[in-house]
Structure 1
Amino acid sequence: MTDIEVTSTSDEGFVTQSRVGDFKLTVDATGEDGPDPNSVLVANYASCYIPAFRVAGRQRDYDDLGKVEIDVEADLNDDDDVEAIRFNIAVEADVDDDDVDDLVDRGHEICHVDAALRDELRADVSVETNAF
Structure 2
Amino acid sequence: MSDIQTSTVSEDGFSSTSRVGDFDLQIDALNETGPSPNETLVATYASCFLPAFRVGGQKTGFDDLGKIQIDADATVDGDDDLTSVSFDVYVEAALSDEEVAEITDLAEDICHVHTALRDGLHADVNVYGGAF
TM class by shorter-chain length? over 0.9
Amino acid paired to 2:99 = D
Runs of 4+ in 1 over 4 A off after TM superposition: none
Unmatched 5+ residue regions in structure 1?
none
Distance 2:77 2:119 in 1: 16
Unmatched 5+ residue regions in structure 2?
none
With normalisation by structure 1, the TM-score equals 0.99
Aligned residue number for residue 26 of structure 1: 26
With normalisation by structure 2, the TM-score equals 0.99
Residue 94 of structure 1 and its aligned partner are, at CA, apart by: 1.0
Residue 78 of structure 1 and its aligned partner are, at CA, apart by: 1.2
Aligned residue number for residue 3 of structure 2: 3
Q: Deviations over 1:47-81 (max 9, x none)?
A: 00000000000000000000000000001011110
Identify the range of structure 1 (92-101 vs 108-117) with the bigger mean alpha-carbon deviation.
92-101
> Number of matched residues?
132
Q: Deviations over 1:72-116 (max 9, x none)?
A: 000101111000000000000111221101111111100000010
Aligned identity (percent) is 50
- 1:53-92 matches, within 5 Å, as 53-92=53-92
Distance 2:83 2:105 in 1: 21
Distance 1:96 1:60 in 2: 12
Distance 1:126 1:39 in 2: 26
Amino acid paired to 1:83 = T
